[in-house]
Structure 1
Amino acid sequence: MSKKERRRAVVMQQLYNKKLNQREAALELCLSIRQIKNLFKNYKKYGDEGLISKKRGSPSNHQLPKVLKEKAIGLILENYIDFGPTLAREKLKEKHGLNISISSVRNLMILANIWHPKKKKERRVYQLRERRSSIGELIQIDGSPHDWFEGRAEKCTLLAYTDDATSRLMELKLVPSETTWNYMNLTKSYIKKYGRPLAFYSDKHSIFRVNTETIGKDSLTQFGRALTQLEIKLICANTPQAKGRVERLFRSLQDRLPKELRLHHISSIDEANKFLPIFIEDYNKRFSRLAKNPINAHRSFDGFDLDLIFTLQETRYLSKNLILQYKNTLYQIKTDRPTYALRKAIVNVLEKESGEVIIEYKKKSLDYKIYHEQPYQGEVISSKLLNHKVDQIKKKQYKPSRNHPWKAYYPRKQHLSL
């Protein structure tokens, strides 16, 4: 007997001994008087056994029909054998019209030896950080190298931008690897679509942060410099747990996205990037949430030239001949103004992803002519002159010491006029 049935047996015994009436027994067991009458009738006829449910041991009236169970298991074995219960349930409903609960799908998969329940490990507890209140206040960005095509193509990296306030997927893009150009291009696309967020939250990858101690603290990477020009704050997390939302996002994406690409017969980066907007829309419907504050924190990018900001930028000094060197190439400035105005001037060199170079002085573009440096060709000499040539090279590299007679100072002799 169960605990509830034993409790009923005690009350029925008191009712039989007339220590309680039917109304008091009903209040004691939280049942109606009609139910008390039926229980008491069975108790007088069969004793304690009359209080045991007759349905015990028989199949539940709420279980799935056998035909539906067999159909669901067959579809899972045929199409979704490596899916988890949640994702398998979604596909059964979307593609096959089978509306079965997640727990029922899980139980069916366990019975069919498809799904093996994992023992929950005791996890270290970290202090929770409250979400930001508005969309666009804090955007978490990261990249995840993974076999996204399950061997049908080479391994690549998925770049993801997710909003901290809503867990909404803002941008996704598959790229060969994490590079400055890939982050610049995706950030430019993000800003054109949504506007400028208040801050980006990333790890300490060298794309986002200068990790060399010998360089000054104020040094910026090319990506960091671009965000500074756009008045977007870049915050770097100390630990992976600090940016847990984007880490958990990638755990879900590594489970869901490869299976979606397989179901849609996608096996290349270009095809996958065309499919990702559809995936993002479906993902946000399932997992995003409303922000506490409905105000959008994104700002307009009017007045910012994104094509110039998202370039590789370095400074150079112009020589007396208005020449500068950048990546083994000489650039001579062409100008109609007097050349002395630009001598020793500091100019900005901007390189686009296409390789096009723009030279700016006081935010104005300068015309230039390119001179490619010729690589030094080795001089051919005979073996008889080899030692003489090495001696000449040695003499060119020799520098006299400070106390060498050549560097001594001799005051001029004063000639007295007679």
Structure 2
Amino acid sequence: MLITMCEKELHRLGVIKDICHKRITQVAAATLLNLTRRHVQRLVNQYRLHGDIGLVSKRRNMPSNRRYPTEFKEQILNIVKDKYSDFKPTFACEKLLENHNISLSSETLRQWMVADGLWTVRRRKKRQIYQPRYRRDCVGELIQIDGSHHDWFEGRSPKCCLLVFIDDATSKLMSLYFCEAETTYDYMNVTRQYIAEHGKPIALYSDKHSVFKINSPSRKTSKQMTQYSRALYELNIELICANSSQAKGRVERANFTLQDRLIKEMRLAGINTIEEANAWVPHYISIHNTRFACLPHSTDDKHRLLQESSIELDDIFARQVSRSLTSSLTLQYDKVIYILTPTDKAKCLVGKKVMIYDYPDGTLSIQHCGESFEYSIFDKLRNVQQGEVVSNKRLGAVLAAAKRSQDEREKEPSRNRNSRMASRKAPKRAMNPVYLTDVEFKASSSRD
């Protein structure tokens, strides 16, 4: 019979054979094996009666005396099947302790879930080798940002995007913001919230999305900036674009964790809409940071105090476009012609550049050297509907907006179906503009 012995049993066998051949005494063997002399005598008797197999443990391949009762195991698996069937073992263990006051090893639960078919052991892929990079030393020195498009509400609401701001030094979640798509206005809104709560960081680390970087081959050599990068420049915040996703791996791994844990936390909390999620998400941030954040190398905080006033911030976090004022005191923006009220100051601006401030709330302001001018709207381009070039990440939101617009047009009378569709890049206007007819526009031009 083939006997398989462990290293400890093989060592004991050699010492017991020396005792039987009288090469060593039992007292010396007890010291060598760290056993009592009486136990050494028992081992010698077992060897003389049964040979080598007498030194093999009788508990081998037998269930442990410290194993959990079968009833307890069935109770745990029933709870997991009922409430946490798609949870990973570690996360399920945390919820068992938090919600059911049941303390259990995550490895034990993993083995139970694997045996019961609730968890599948996945073969790990070969890890790719990337050059390591040390964390930054201080909080606020480098903030990694990214947008994660996912079905965050598991079908209870349409798919949306989560904007994630994470600190490079500590892996702390600094801000989370749910929105319909990854747009310039949404990044401006969450950045303004971040600055109001934490202050201005040294730099933001992002990908090469068109919100952050001009990717058009014809404009790459120009010094033009996107609206978001222009806002950060005015706030004296550096914007760095990574060459690959692995370069900003902390925020990418955070997205993977959020797509697992945040979704289930919102399910347990009964969160079903973007508005509810944005109001509730600070609670999750504190839980996440307690679990995953680490201490920085230095205790210094590199966030800087905000010096700008709220009015200046309104202008900074707005889409800013310059236009030349015609001799008719008109200018065109977003498929609309705007007519300035013919005051003496407005007439002095003919041929000069004026600034258009398009705010996230939908309002619009026309200014020159900080002074605002009243205007009216002449909708000359109401029949023009040019095809838009949209980012792949915004395609879902654009299609949803197109469907809503089509449904509204179907309900309108046929005479109103040719009304102008404003560009989807700009928010819905919050004001009630005055539209001029062709006759009124010509009369106004002749008076000027």
Which TM class, normalised by the smaller chain length? 0.7 to 0.9
Kindly indicate whether the alpha-carbon contact (under 8 Å) linking 2:140 and 2:301 is maintained by their aligned counterparts in 1: yes
Q: What residue in structure 2 maps to residue 270 of structure 1?
A: 275
Q: Deviations over 1:44-91 (max 9, x none)?
A: 565434422232233212322222211101101111111111111111
Kindly indicate whether the alpha-carbon contact (under 8 Å) linking 2:114 and 2:120 is maintained by their aligned counterparts in 1: yes
Residue 196 (structure 1) aligned to one of 178, 194, 200: 200
Per-residue deviation, 1:16: 2.8
Per-residue deviation, 1:256: 1.5
- Give runs of aligned pairs for residues 362-381 of structure 1, distance below 5 A: 362=369, 364-374=370-380
Q: How many residues align?
A: 375
Residue 108 (structure 2) aligned to one of 86, 104, 111: 104
Kindly indicate whether the alpha-carbon contact (under 8 Å) linking 1:334 and 1:368 is maintained by their aligned counterparts in 2: no
The 1:279–1:330 alpha-carbon spacing in structure 2 relative to 1, beyond 3 Å, is same
Taking the aligned partners of 2:364 and 2:109, their CA distance within structure 1 comes to: 59
- Kindly report the root-mean-square deviation, in angstroms, between the aligned alpha carbons of the 2 structures: 2.4
Q: What residue in structure 1 maps to residue 313 of structure 2?
A: 306
Residue aligned with 2:374, SS? strand
Q: What residue in structure 2 maps to residue 356 of structure 1?
A: 363
Q: What residue in structure 2 maps to residue 386 of structure 1?
A: none
The 1:191–1:334 alpha-carbon spacing in structure 2 relative to 1, beyond 3 Å, is farther
- Give runs of aligned pairs for residues 194-343 of structure 1, distance below 5 A: 194-215=198-219, 216-303=221-308, 305-319=312-326, 323-327=330-334, 328-332=336-340, 340=348, 342-343=349-350
Taking the aligned partners of 1:30 and 1:346, their CA distance within structure 2 comes to: 93
Superposition TM-score, scaled by structure 2 size: 0.77
The 1:376–1:132 alpha-carbon spacing in structure 2 relative to 1, beyond 3 Å, is closer
Residue aligned with 1:161, SS? strand
Q: What residue in structure 2 maps to residue 128 of structure 1?
A: 132
Kindly indicate whether the alpha-carbon contact (under 8 Å) linking 1:166 and 1:288 is maintained by their aligned counterparts in 2: yes
The 1:25–1:307 alpha-carbon spacing in structure 2 relative to 1, beyond 3 Å, is farther
Per-residue deviation, 1:124: 1.6
Taking the aligned partners of 1:34 and 1:129, their CA distance within structure 2 comes to: 60
Superposition TM-score, scaled by structure 1 size: 0.83
| Aligned partner letter, 1:370 | S
Per-residue deviation, 1:35: 5.5
Taking the aligned partners of 1:158 and 1:196, their CA distance within structure 2 comes to: 21
Residue aligned with 1:348, SS? strand
The 1:315–1:33 alpha-carbon spacing in structure 2 relative to 1, beyond 3 Å, is farther
Residue aligned with 1:10, SS? helix
Per-residue deviation, 1:357: 2.1
Taking the aligned partners of 1:154 and 1:143, their CA distance within structure 2 comes to: 16
Q: Deviations over 1:189-217 (max 9, x none)?
A: 01101001111111111011000121143
Taking the aligned partners of 2:373 and 2:47, their CA distance within structure 1 comes to: 105
Q: What residue in structure 2 maps to residue 144 of structure 1?
A: 148
Taking the aligned partners of 1:34 and 1:190, their CA distance within structure 2 comes to: 73
Q: Deviations over 1:339-366 (max 9, x none)?
A: 54x454333221112232233333x223
Kindly indicate whether the alpha-carbon contact (under 8 Å) linking 2:367 and 2:373 is maintained by their aligned counterparts in 1: no
Structure 2 residues not aligned, in runs of 5+: 384-448
Q: What residue in structure 2 maps to residue 177 of structure 1?
A: 181
Q: What residue in structure 2 maps to residue 398 of structure 1?
A: none
Between the two proteins, what is the percent identity of the paired residues? 42
Residue aligned with 2:192, SS? helix
Structure 1 residues not aligned, in runs of 5+: 378-418
Q: Answer with 1 or 2: which has the greater Rg.
A: 1
| Aligned partner letter, 2:185 | W
Taking the aligned partners of 2:262 and 2:240, their CA distance within structure 1 comes to: 28
The 1:31–1:236 alpha-carbon spacing in structure 2 relative to 1, beyond 3 Å, is farther
Kindly indicate whether the alpha-carbon contact (under 8 Å) linking 1:334 and 1:366 is maintained by their aligned counterparts in 2: no
Residue aligned with 1:219, SS? coil
Residue aligned with 2:73, SS? helix
Kindly indicate whether the alpha-carbon contact (under 8 Å) linking 1:323 and 1:333 is maintained by their aligned counterparts in 2: no
Kindly indicate whether the alpha-carbon contact (under 8 Å) linking 1:138 and 1:198 is maintained by their aligned counterparts in 2: yes
| Aligned partner letter, 1:222 | Q
The 1:25–1:112 alpha-carbon spacing in structure 2 relative to 1, beyond 3 Å, is same
Taking the aligned partners of 2:382 and 2:244, their CA distance within structure 1 comes to: 49
Q: Structure 1 residue 64 and structure 2 residue 61: aligned? A: no
